[in-house]
């Protein structure tokens, strides 16, 4: 029996409209896609500092996912950061699809393998595993991400 690859899409209400496009691209690439909302319950868990209280739906969606895609609005809620912490623990690739590259939470600069804008023509490549770091729309050059290199 062949096991299908799993992908997780985590969104907030502000970017719910982008979910079908991302889901369709992932399905074209052979992924079984689960979708989960980073809602108020997660935000409350974040404020309490308790990842154990992140809702079961988000945890289940992220668990064993080869790739986790986060749809991040311009004003990202704390709930999306908590969900990213859960994804870090799962060990899969993390891709941020953002409204505004300049206002993403720091954790995505640290964890993501790609950061692309909503509606970017590079989205399929990012979802396919290419490392893409889009620059803010006003900048002609790519984003420079400070990475710590082992000696």
**Measured between alpha carbons, how far is 30 from 24 in angstroms, rounded to an integer?**
10
Range 117-124, long-range pairs (CB < 8 A, 24+ positions): 118/15, 118/18, 118/71, 119/18, 123/21, 123/22, 123/25, 123/97, 124/25, 124/28, 124/29
Q: Which domains does the chain have, with CATH numbers?
A: 5-127 (3.40.50.360)
**Tens digit of each residue's pLDDT, the chain (151 residues):** 455 789 999 888 788 889 999 999 999 999 999 998 876 555 455 445 555 555 677 778 888 889 999 998 888 777 778 788 888 888 789 999 998 888 888 888 888 999 999 889 999 999 888 898 887 654 444 545 555 566 6
Query: Is 110 exposed, middle or buried (CB count within 10 Å of its CB: 0-12, 13-18, 19+)?
Result: middle
**Measured between alpha carbons, how far is 36 from 107 in angstroms, rounded to an integer?**
19
**pTM, two decimal places:** 0.79
pLDDT for the residue numbered 146: 53
């Amino acid at each position: 029996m062949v096991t299908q690859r799993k992908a997780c899409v985590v969104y907030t209400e502000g970017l719910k409209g982008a979910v079908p496009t991302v889901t369709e691209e992932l399905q074209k690439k052979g992924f079984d896609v689960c979708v989960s909302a980073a809602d108020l319950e997660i935000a409350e868990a974040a404020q309490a500092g308790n990842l154990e209280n992140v809702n079961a739906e988000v945890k289940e969606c992220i668990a064993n996912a080869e790739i986790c895609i986060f749809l991040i609005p311009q004003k990202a809620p704390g709930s999306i950061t908590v969900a990213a912490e859960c994804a870090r623990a799962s060990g899969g690739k993390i891709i941020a699809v953002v409204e505004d590259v300049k206002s993403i939470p720091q954790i995505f600069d640290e964890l993501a393998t790609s950061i692309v804008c909503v509606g970017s023509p590079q989205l399929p490549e990012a979802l396919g595993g290419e490392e893409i770091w889009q620059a803010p729309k006003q900048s002609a050059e790519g984003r420079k991400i400070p990475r710590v290199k082992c000696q």
